[in-house]
Amino acid sequence: MHKEAVNSQGLKSRVGQISSAVALLCLAAPSFAEAPPDIQLNRVEINGSAERKDAAQDSPSRNLLSARSAQSVVSDSFVRDNISPVADYTQVLSMTPGVFSYSPNGVGLGDAKVTLRGLSDSYTVFSFDGIPFNDTNGVSHHSWVFFPAQFIGGAVVDRSPGSAATIGQATFGGSVDLQSRVLKAERSTSVTASSGSWNTHLVGVEHETGNFGSDGSSNLLFNVHEMRSDGYETYNKQDRRAISAKFQTALGKDTELTLFASYLDLKNNTPNIKGLSRSNYEAGNYTYLLSNDPTRGDFYGYNFYEIATDVVYAGISSRLGGGWLLEDKVYTYSYHNKQNYNGSATTISATSAVDKLNAYVTMGNLLRLSQTSTLGTLRTGLWLDRADSNRYQIPSDPRSWKDVAAPNFHETYVTTTLQPYVEFEFKLSDALRITPGVKFASYKQDFVHDQDNGGAVGPLGGVFNKTTNTITGGAPTLAQSVKYTDTLPSLDLHYQVRPNWSAYVQVAQGDEIPSTSVFDVPNAKVSQTPKATKATTSQLGTVWNSAAYSLAANVYYTKLDGTYTALPPDANGNVAYVASGTQTNRGLEAEGTLLLAQGLSLYANATLGSLKYANGQWVAGAPRDTETLGLNYRAGGWSGMLSLNRVGRMYNDAKDGTHEAFAIDPVLVSNLFVNYTAALNFGFLKQAKLQLGVNNLFDKHDIVGVASPAAGSSSAKPSSADLLTILPGRSVSLTGTLSF
């Protein structure tokens, strides 16, 4: 029942749609076709032409003198040399201030979430080459799909709502822009093989054409890989296959076209609730998650995912004359998560399992226009985004996967997002610039709910029979819609104190839309919908770069709207949502790099902060402090990094929502990566690279969170039934790459 796929789910149809858009983009610039090329195809990693060479050049995270807010930049070289080849984007971000994440099944072997300045993943915009992506039932992101390390060429982390030009459905806490691979001028083909702990193996092939064509105006990079692993946790197996391609070409001296496409398929045996029982932890059994016994409810054959994702975009960048620059991207991406899980570790019955689908297809266009004059720079643009979603959960028998007639819920819906913006960077002098801006954000959701067994909207006037799991009578569906709108201003001032020293002040607002669960009440009767929550951030910072050392520091203060609260139904059965107060996030951040000797540098960052409710209690998952140290070496064919990441004391909530119920002690994790690259002169062989990677060097098993607390449990009275999140044990990988 209700197992139809989302319309146009197939990759072929989306590629066809994007191909039409590409053709239109190409036709839009015919006047440049015969002109000699003057476009820089090979993206400088981070505004390299405008930034000074300094001590932070090879740092895992660095700052730009041009920054107008608290930003950190991760380079392509860090991704290639200092994270596991099976890693996801959470490891790409791991060395930036205030950022941490954990994957209990091992690096890259689970769905990890990023915390930024104490705020969870759902409060942050994640984008790829500037295109936001997120789940449609609530803003969240899945690290194990979409963008593995092979697809990523760096990242920019902005720990603020950004300027008016920052777009997305959750600018509330910050933004992370993952960047596609850097294209190089030289032709190269490489074959990679990696083997590591827990029977983890990866093989991959990558080819880059280098600049080609009669005038060298084009470049193509594609890669494909397969990764398999038993995982750190018992029977939590992972099987990932992925491919991506990026093409750039100059359509004359003033216009560049970029095409990107990727596809990833992931199969695994992860349960719905991912945690280790406290009783197992206290017994020293750190790995138990699933069993191989089909008479048990936690049998791995009763718990599995298959997730397919794809991304396709076409982007054009064109200088129009008179200081004008046009940038436009048309895109589509999809997520098809088919999950089956047993809801109990002990019970097996005709309804103990859940047949689940979460699927969406998103299409959109991101248009940006800017014009530079003697007065300053005008920036304006429009983001349009439409997502078609299909979600259901149906009780099922895990032995046969025979579904019952009445679902827990089934809904289809369309989310339409519109965000125009404008800002002007006034050039008051060569050193001083001030940028006011404003963005209008509109989010509209149109739902169709099927009648259900009471898990969401209910039988819609019908009668649900618990014995037969059927619904008699009532309306088969119910339509509902909601719209959220916000006006979000921003203002920043940037002062270039000296050529190597800058400072900034910023005040900006961000927002986040509520979850689609707003209408998960009987008959979807909501008399007062919640508003999008807002955050207002003020911060002051400075950046210093020199040949010997670099330093960036900032202080920040953010006032955040709390989540909404549902009131009991009134006499007519209507539910109203009201604001639940505010939170305050404040702190101090710093990061820097010290050049110790030629090729040897020390990187460090630290964040001291507090994220608290109005009553002074800590928000769950927000640490008091975070610190990172990284010792980097690069000389000749050798490179490597020893890193230490510490997350300070934090709290988790109890099952009933009581704050500060569980105290989570500080966690310290160390990683080591050593690389050796040798030039070869054996026929067609050009280069060989060998990488040794060790994650969790000292094999620690700290508790990093309470994934699912038992009723009445707390740190003062812990329950053996608590499900804990712990660090995975030490993992070692050896990776070899041959280039031709």
Q: pLDDT tens digit string along 665-687?
A: 999 999 999 999 999 988 889 99
Lowest mean pLDDT among 8-17, 112-121, 268-277, 372-381: 8-17
Mean pLDDT for the stretch of residues 506-516: 94
Among 532, 516, 528, residue whose Cα is nearest residue 456: 516
Measured distance CA(78)–CA(461) in Å, rounded:
58
User: How confident is residue 132, by pLDDT bands cut at 50, 70 and 90?
Assistant: very high
At 378 the pLDDT is 98
Mean pLDDT for the stretch of residues 513-529: 92
Among 239, 197, 209, 204, residue whose Cα is nearest residue 224: 204
- Range 170-180 burial, b when 16+ CB lie within 10 A, else e: bbbbbbbbbbb
User: How confident is residue 602, by pLDDT bands cut at 50, 70 and 90?
Assistant: very high
At 55 the pLDDT is 67
Taking all residues of the chain, what is their mean pLDDT, rounded to a whole number?
91
- The tokens describing 304, both together, are 């599995």
Residue 18 scores a pLDDT above 60: no
User: How confident is residue 274, by pLDDT bands cut at 50, 70 and 90?
Assistant: confident
At 554 the pLDDT is 97
Mean pLDDT for the stretch of residues 714-721: 96
User: How confident is residue 33, by pLDDT bands cut at 50, 70 and 90?
Assistant: very low
At 684 the pLDDT is 86
At 578 the pLDDT is 87
Helix or strand holding residue 590 (H, E): strand 582-597
Residue 507 scores a pLDDT above 70: yes
Residue 123 scores a pLDDT above 50: yes
For the chain, count helices (H), then strands (E).
Answer: 4, 40
What is the dihedral angle through the alpha carbons of 221, 226, 231, 237, rounded to the nearest 10 degrees?
A: 130
At 683 the pLDDT is 80
Residue 434 sits at φ, ψ, to 5 deg, of -130, 135
User: How confident is residue 94, by pLDDT bands cut at 50, 70 and 90?
Assistant: very high
Among 52, 45, 48, 59, residue whose Cα is nearest residue 593: 59
At 134 the pLDDT is 95
Helix or strand holding residue 494 (H, E): strand 477-498
Residue 280 scores a pLDDT above 50: yes
At 47 the pLDDT is 34
Mean pLDDT for the stretch of residues 391-413: 97
At 579 the pLDDT is 85
Q: Which residue has the tokens 């930034």?
A: 51
User: How confident is residue 277, by pLDDT bands cut at 50, 70 and 90?
Assistant: very high
At 56 the pLDDT is 66
The pTM assigned to this predicted structure is 0.91
Q: How many CB atoms lie within 10 A of CB 698?
A: 10
CATH number for domain 11-739, candidates 1.10.1240.10, 2.40.170.20, 2.60.40.10, 3.40.50.920: 2.40.170.20
Q: How many CB atoms lie within 10 A of CB 280?
A: 18
